[in-house]
């Protein structure tokens, strides 16, 4: 298949450009057999009920069964969700995904007694258990569970909450199907008069088009589709927030934000420091928009003018294979072993599902499980530099997973989301260093500096704006204020004005953007992109300028998985996220880049 073919069907995609899932199951029949076997195993959970306080050995036996069951279930789920994301319109894949999700919910219900029963073990008795060698391996795991004593309900209540899990994901699933399968984004006229169908995959590419008419048409046509479904999107997002509030209140948390941060032992101050630090450093962002307006020679700067490259005549084009070669070179500071493994994964072992096809999930991610390779979903575009950066980003996630699974037992191999964005953004930082280190002409340097600025803008400023939106809408809901279409738009509009400042004209349709962000269905996740880029750039500077153990410290961080709390993992790698300094340093870096852009374009 030509990588540039617009939106082919799945069977038109070449095997070489698809991920290779054969190492997980040799056939769909094998997957179904293992699913049936695990469905039969679930009843064994009942044999442990009421036994956990009897002895350390009884507790260990239950924990081992639960760990082994979860490992098998994770493999079944991973295969089903990857196949489902290949083509959301494939009925068999949908059916299999629903089957495994039913098992996930049944397992959650069947195992829900474990945490509450552990909590009911008297503290003195539990301390005695923890002192025994039999439980030495599980000490950190148990410590994480015991933190939830005051947030754990009775066995029956926990079972009831677990049983509601399938119902609780309805809003997210409905958004997913509406946004990826049912939503018709419309068409626009291309530069040669041809009809161009809008997709989530080509929207950003069209916003980088030099022809302003195309950018403007793409923008307004895209948001017209959201406007036609705005009440549905509003209702889904409101329902998702109400669902979250139900769970946080049921679990005795003061807020859903507190519940979300508690799971990774992240102090609320980290969240608040991020927003406060960004608020104090908005002037460089406004300055950048002013530069963009001047360089594009526009009377008014709109959002659809904020992604187009600032120098004309440079059209980005890079094949997937060439992108892998560039990433390979860029990552050399991470050592031969790292570079060889990431190259093998991307080029030979087919970790990546490369291109867009009809029904395929939009966006990009890294997935996989303990018993599989890492896998990367891409919708790679040869004409969009962001695709190269996205590939480097997801490869960072995949290598983090690869090292974690290789060096940690299953129980401690899954790193938390707070540190998940560090390795990915670290790779992006190295890719920029690589591109800028080459002998390039001034226009290309401007192009790349602008790309780096936009990366900071999209990851640090934009994700902080998203984080502030989440904070405000959840605070409103927790204050019993109604969440309506207009209230969502009002809150988002206020943030748009604050983060874009006086230089950008905000089109009336732009507040609808809050309804197209999938991460809002995984609440209080987005702030981690902003803290992640701050930590990543601090570590990238440390590794590339270091002369001693800095690389070993960073690789040690990748290998540590979830064996410590995330703040401690980052501290061992060389960065303290309890301090506002990493965020402030990243913001200072952004300001310096804007100053450099101003200098480079002074004669334009």
Give the pair of three-digit tokens for residue 6: 């617009």
Helix 527-545 × helix 550-559 angle, to 10°: 140
CA 43/CA 143 separation, integer angstroms: 27
CA 530/CA 329 separation, integer angstroms: 26
3-state secondary structure 89-141: CCHHHHHHHHHHHHHHHHHHHHHCHHHHHHHHCCHHHHHHHHCCHHHHHHHHH
Query: Could you give the strand order of the β-sheet that contains 352-353, starting from the edge strand earlier in sequence?
Result: 352-353, 375-377, 365-367
Residue 197 phi/psi, 5-degree rounding, is -80, 130
How far from 432 is each of 322, 463, 569, 595, CA to CA, in Å?
Answer: 16, 20, 25, 17
E-strand spans in 283-386? 301-302, 352-353, 365-367, 375-377
The catalytically annotated residue of 394, 452, 503, 550 is: 394
Of 276, 216, 257, residue with least CA distance to 510: 216
CA 271/CA 531 separation, integer angstroms: 9
Does an H or E element contain 505, and which? Answer: strand 504-505
Catalytic, 191? Answer no
CA 423/CA 15 separation, integer angstroms: 29
Please count the other Cβ atoms lying within 10 Å of the Cβ belonging to residue 146.
16
Cβ proximity of 584 and 275 under 8 Å: no
Cβ proximity of 34 and 369 under 8 Å: no
Please count the other Cβ atoms lying within 10 Å of the Cβ belonging to residue 72.
16
Of 104, 3, 34, residue with least CA distance to 371: 34
504: DSSP letter: E
CA 8/CA 39 separation, integer angstroms: 37
Cβ proximity of 333 and 544 under 8 Å: yes
Residues that are catalytic: 394
């Amino acid at each position: 298949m030509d990588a540039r073919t617009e939106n082919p069907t799945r069977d038109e995609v070449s095997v070489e450009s698809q991920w290779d899932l054969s190492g997980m199951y040799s056939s769909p029949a094998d997957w179904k057999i293992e699913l049936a076997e695990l469905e039969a195993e679930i009843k064994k959970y009942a044999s442990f009920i009421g036994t956990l306080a009897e002895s350390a050995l009884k507790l260990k036996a239950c924990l081992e069964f639960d760990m082994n069951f979860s490992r098998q279930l994770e493999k079944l789920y991973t295969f089903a969700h990857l196949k489902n994301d290949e083509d959301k319109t494939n009925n068999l894949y949908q059916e299999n995904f629903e089957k495994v999700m039913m098992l996930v919910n049944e397992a959650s219900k069947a195992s829900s007694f474990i945490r509450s029963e552990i909590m009911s073990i008297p503290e003195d008795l539990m301390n005695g258990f923890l002192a025994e060698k039999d439980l030495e391996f599980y000490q950190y795991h148990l410590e994480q569970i015991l933190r939830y004593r005051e947030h754990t309900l009775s066995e029956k209540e926990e079972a009831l909450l677990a049983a509601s899990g399938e119902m609780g994901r309805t809003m997210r699933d409905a958004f997913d199907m509406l946004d990826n399968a049912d939503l018709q984004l419309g068409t626009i006229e291309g530069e040669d008069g041809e009809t161009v169908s809008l997709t989530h995959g080509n929207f950003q590419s069209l916003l980088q088009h030099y022809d302003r008419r195309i950018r403007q048409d793409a923008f307004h046509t895209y948001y017209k589709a959201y406007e036609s479904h705005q009440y549905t999107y509003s209702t889904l997002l409101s329902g998702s927030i109400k669902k979250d509030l139900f769970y946080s209140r049921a679990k005795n948390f003061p807020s859903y934000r507190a519940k979300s941060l508690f799971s990774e032992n992240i102090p609320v101050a980290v969240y608040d420091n991020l927003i406060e630090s960004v608020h104090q450093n908005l002037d460089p962002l406004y300055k950048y928009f002013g530069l963009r307006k001047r360089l594009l020679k526009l009377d008014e700067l709109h959002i659809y003018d904020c992604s187009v490259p600032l120098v004309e005549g440079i059209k980005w084009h890079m094949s997937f294979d060439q992108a892998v070669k560039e990433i390979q070179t860029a990552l050399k500071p991470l050592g031969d072993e790292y570079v060889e493994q990431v190259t093998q994964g991307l080029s030979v072992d087919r970790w990546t599902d490369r291109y867009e096809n009809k029904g395929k999930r939009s966006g990009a991610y890294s997935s996989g499980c303990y018993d599989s390779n890492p896998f990367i979903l891409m919708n790679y575009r040869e004409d969009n530099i962001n695709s190269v950066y996205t590939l480097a980003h997801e490869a960072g996630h995949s290598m983090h997973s690869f090292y974690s699974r290789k060096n940690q037992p299953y129980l401690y191999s899954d790193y938390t989301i707070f540190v998940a964005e560090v390795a990915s953004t670290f790779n992006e930082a190295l890719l920029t260093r690589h591109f800028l280190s080459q002998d390039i002409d001034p226009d290309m340097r401007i192009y790349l500096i602008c790309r780096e600025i936009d990366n900071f803008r999209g990851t640090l400023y934009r994700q902080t704006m998203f984080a502030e939106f989440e904070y405000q809408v959840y605070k409103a809901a927790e204050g019993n204020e109604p969440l309506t279409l207009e209230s969502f738009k009002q809150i988002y509009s206020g943030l748009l004005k604050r983060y874009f400042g006086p230089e950008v004209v905000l089109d009336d349709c732009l507040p609808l953007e809050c309804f197209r962000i999938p991460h809002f269905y995984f609440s209080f996740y987005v702030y981690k992109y902003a803290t992640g880029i701050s930590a990543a750039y601090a570590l990238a500077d440390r590794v590339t300028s270091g002369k001693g153990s800095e690389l070993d410290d960073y690789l040690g961080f990748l290998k540590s998985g979830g064996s410590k709390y995330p703040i401690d993992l980052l501290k061992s790698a060389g960065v303290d996220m309890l301090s506002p300094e990493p965020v402030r340093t990243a913001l200072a870096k952004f300001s310096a880049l804007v100053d450099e852009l101003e200098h480079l374009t002074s004669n334009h």
